[in-house]
Homo-oligomer: A and B are copies of this chain.
Amino acid sequence: MDNTMWTRIPRRISFGLCLILSTSLPSSAQQRAPRMTGFSAQGAATQHALEQQYDSLLNKEHLASWMQRMTAQPQHVGSPHGKANAEFMVDRFREWGYEASLVEYHVLVPMPEQRELHMLEPTPFTAHLEEPALESDATSSVREGRLPPYNAYSADGDVTAELVYVNQGLPHDYEVLQQHGIDVQGKIVIARYGGSWRGLKPKLAAEHGAVGCILYSDPRDDGYFQGDVYPEGPYRMGYGTQRGSVLDMPQHPGDPLTPGYGATPDAERLPLAEAKGIMPIPVLPIGYADAAPLLEALQGPVAPPAWRGALPLTYHIGPGPARVRLHVRFSWDLVPAYNVIAVMKGAELPDEWVIRGNHRDGWVFGAADPISGMVAVMEEARAVGVLAAKGLRPRRTIVYAGWDAEEPGLLGSTEWVEHHADELRGKAVIYINSDGNGRGFLRAGGSHTLERLVNEVAASVTDPQTGVSVAERLRAQRIVSGRREPQDTGLLRISPLGSGSDYSPFLQHLTIASLNIGFGGENGGGSYHSAFDSYDHYTRFQDPGFLYGEALAQVAGRLTLRMANAEVLPMVVGDWLFHVEKYVREVEELASDMRAATERHNSLLASGAWTLASDPRRTFVPPDPKDAVPHLNFSPLKNSLFVLQESAVAFDKAMKAAGTDLEPVVRDGLNAILRDLERSMSRAEGLPERPWYRHYIYAPGLLTGYGVKTLPGVREAIEARQWMAAEEQIQVAAEVLHHVSRQLSQATAAVSGQ
């Protein structure tokens, strides 16, 4: 076991599951077999050989032809081509030896019926709101059945008001507006995409009294400032528009009419008026070609430097004189969503499930998002099927999933998870997600007990461009970006997960250990959620030759097969603990940083310097003083961390003493505890004010949307300056860590009882 990762942990403990016994294998097999947590040396050699076979079965041609077929027509939830794709997939999975079926839910997905945006003053202008056909992009001329740019779960509305530019529309932006003496009450706001999940922008605008919200992609963030625009380059052209959901997902994802349970065709449903999470004001996304005349027409104060984009104009805040009319109307019908579920029953442990999924619905043609990931899943499943047909069936059951209706709000996966919650709680050992793919570097996030598994897999897959392992290439990137020292040979850290894809119901609602993986960073962006996310765009710019599609199948296939075949589930508590220790330090630092910032804020205010330093010719409203940050009692959390470290040491000791040849009954007991370990990080009542989210280590931020908040109960209470709640949440988090300690002690007992 590599010890370099422990530099920040007080004691040198190594309670990983090191089952490789150096004396149990002939030396040739030893040399061949790479380190493989969860496997004995013999098991590792067998698994290694299996993976070599697996690799040899992969065929990039399949990815290309499936993508071309599946992206030939619009394929959003409810579309004929979407259903045809689902049926095509079911047929393939059956061919490959799976029990496969379409699993249907009926979900509320609003579809646009009216979209109009006009500037009435000072210069009449009607926004174009359409993406043009381009000669070099075959599907761009396919108009029938495609969803035009819109934001799903916007309110219906026809509003006319003065326009205000609110930058990214985040909480801090409203503080800046206040300092300029500008109020959005009764106004329509225009916000640029970026800085947060899009749904927070209209939500905050509505909370501040705005009557409508326009979202646009500024060319600085997503357009010609970044690189050549489509079709010369991959970046967003002037009318390329980012569709997307504005459902209030930080509250919960999934069908708004069936909160917390499956939207089966016969389920009882809330009346629409009682549904939560639907935006109270109309919202519409536009491209920068449509945004430019609106922004150009604004006067009022010049926007602060950080608010300015790359349009050739001086960014003003307004309000007005631009006056706009925003008119949107949607159908509010139930739409059938078809998940594809394909099961390869495990040869030895059929009731332990390894679930591997990607969504299959796109906003329009959806080549990169999501089909590039979906076809890698399919090729993976095909190869696993071939191996099974040869008699190399996995020990555990593998479930492949192609989710529908992810784009409007993770509906397909969430309904399935809610529908099968009890079964999943008992059986799921991991959920492995992807959501599209591109050229570049491995990106992995998820439960930190799986960090070592991800590292071992990444070290065993070759980067198709450079010939080194994908781990080696990622390490190089982190070294160059200054995130890592060249001499550091420790684990590559994986990111904690927030939300934004189908892992969320698994990880955060059922607290099943999860991973999210994909490649990227060298695929120029710019097609995201537009009609130009096409086969042509993808094969020219995102992953020509599907080299990284194959690499994804190699990485995800290994993850899936190792989880399916491992003797002991390859979860390493020490790696997780390393991160939890960091999170505890972070929340403590957060409080003291906020204390210092508050003191400075109040002292600045008291000194009068803000007003004196401001330009008397401009409006300046000094901010309000802030309440002092008390000293919070973090000791419960730190004491529980101490107990956790003790439990981990004891477990490690017991594992070492037990050696590697665990009795089957001991091993099964241990595996059951490991499977449930992530579950022990949750509370049945969920997080404060959002009970659907039950994971107490990872959650999407209430005010960042997709962005993760670790130790969310504590962190968000501090950020919200709710000091009493913070003290309570420190207690709750401490109890959660105690709960994990107890699980570990049980595991220790199970192993020692051998």
CB < 8 Å: which of B311, B314, B487, B609 contacts A480?
B609
A310 on the B face (CB < 8 A): yes
Which of B473, B522, B603, B612 meets A487, CB within 8 Å?
B603
8 Å CB contact of A308 from B225, B477, B609: B225
Name the contact of A604 in the complex, choosing from B229, B480, B604, B612 (C-beta under 8 A).
Answer: B480
A1 at the interface (CB under 8 A from B): no
Instruction: With A228-B302, A604-B486 as known contacts, state yes or no: A612 contacts B311, CB within 8 Å.
Output: no
- How far, in angstroms, from A477 to B609 measured CA to CA in the complex? 7
Which residue of B is nearest A477, CB measured? B613
State whether the Cβ of A267 lies closer than 8 Å to any Cβ in chain B: no
Contacts of A225 in B (CB 8 A): 308, 314
Contact A486 B609 (CB under 8 A): yes
Are A224 and B314 interface neighbours, CB within 8 A?
yes
A227 at the interface (CB under 8 A from B): yes
Q: For the complex, is A468 an interface residue (Cβ under 8 Å from B)? A: yes
Q: Say which residue of B302, B466, B615 sits within 8 Å of A522 (CB atoms).
A: B615
Known: A302-B227, A603-B486. A612 touches B468 (CB 8 A): yes
Within 8 A of B (CB), among A170-226: 219, 224-226
Closest B residue to A227 by CB, please name it.
B302
For this chain, the copies found in one complex come to 2
**Across the interface, which residues of B come within 8 angstroms of A302, CB to CB?**
227-228
A321 within 8 A of B: no
A11 within 8 A of B: no
Band of interface residues on A? 35 or more
Residues of chain B lying within 8 A (CB to CB) of residue A229: 314
CA distance A617 to B466 in the complex (A): 11
In the A-B complex, the 7 residue pairs with the smallest Cβ-Cβ separation, listed nearest first, are A476-B612, A476-B609, A479-B609, A486-B607, A476-B613, A312-B312, A480-B613
A273 interface hit (Cβ, 8 Å): no
Closest Cβ of chain B: how far from A68's Cβ, in Å? Answer: 23
* Cα distance, A411 to B619, chains bound together (Å): 44
In the complex, 8 of the A-B residue pairs with CB atoms within 8 angstroms, ordered by the A residue number, are A225-B308, A227-B302, A312-B312, A466-B616, A475-B609, A476-B610, A480-B609, A486-B604
Using a CB-CB cutoff of 8 Å, which residues 369-390 of chain A contact chain B?
none
For A481, the closest partner residue in chain B by CB is B613
Q: How far is the CB of A293 from chain B (nearest CB, A)?
A: 14
Q: Which positions 606-642 of chain A face chain B at CB distance < 8 Å?
A: 606-613, 615-617
Give the docked Cα–Cα distance between A468 and B614 (Å): 13
A34 close to chain B: CB less than 8 A: no
Question: Among B226, B233, B616, which residue has its beta carbon within 8 angstroms of that of A465?
Answer: B616
